Amino acid sequence: MSPVVVLVGPPGSGKSTIAALLATRLGRTHRDTDTDVVNEAGKPISDIFVDSGEAAFRALERAAIVAALKDDDAVLSLGGGAILDPETRADLAGHNVVYLDVSIGEAAKRVGLGVARPLLLGNVRTQLKNLMDARRPLYVEVAKLTVTTDGRTPEEIADEIVEHL
């Protein structure tokens, strides 16, 4: 089984955009665990958090990851908090995991444009800083490659990843 290409990083690091580009370039399928969870639950992530709590969301996310990692034809983008689960970190060991590193300022700009993220309510920059400080060691732990994304286009970032695969 060939390894899955997996993109990890905080909200606003560009995981979904770059995974879609990579999938096209590599002739693979793009899978996104947030999308899989929304489809499975039949409602947006913000509603899952409100109705059932974060733990219920994490359980759905974990099931989506287990299923997606069996798809060796995939380029997979994970939700920013997926790496909090030690079993997920262990499962990622055999795959091509890329950490998309991004500054707080750049990530804050990007999430400002996107869908509602329940963990970023309130002061987005402060919430992002807290998330990134807590998670950076976990992203580094699972990653085979770290790519800097600030000031670069999605195409340039995808080029760098393809060179290293």
- State the residues that interact with ligand S3P by CB under 6 A: 11, 15, 34, 45, 79-81, 117-119, 131
Contact (Cβ atoms closer than 8 angstroms) between residue 68 and residue 31: yes
Q: What does each C-alpha distance from 145 to 8, 97, 99, 121, 136 come to in angstroms?
A: 10, 7, 6, 30, 14
Q: What does each C-alpha distance from 21 to 26, 48, 124 come to in angstroms?
A: 9, 28, 27
Residue 144 annotated as lining a ligand binding site: no
Contact (Cβ atoms closer than 8 angstroms) between residue 119 and residue 21: no
Whose Cβ is closer to ligand S3P: residue 65's or residue 161's?
Answer: 65
Residue 152 annotated as lining a ligand binding site: yes
Minimum CB–partner distance for residue 79 and ligand S3P (Å): 2
Minimum CB–partner distance for residue 131 and ligand S3P (Å): 6
Say which DSSP state 42 is in: T
Whose Cβ is closer to ligand S3P: residue 27's or residue 122's?
Answer: 122
Give the residue ranges of the annotated binding site for substrate. Answer: 34, 58, 80, 135
Residue positions in the annotated binding site? 12-17, 34, 58, 80, 117, 135, 152
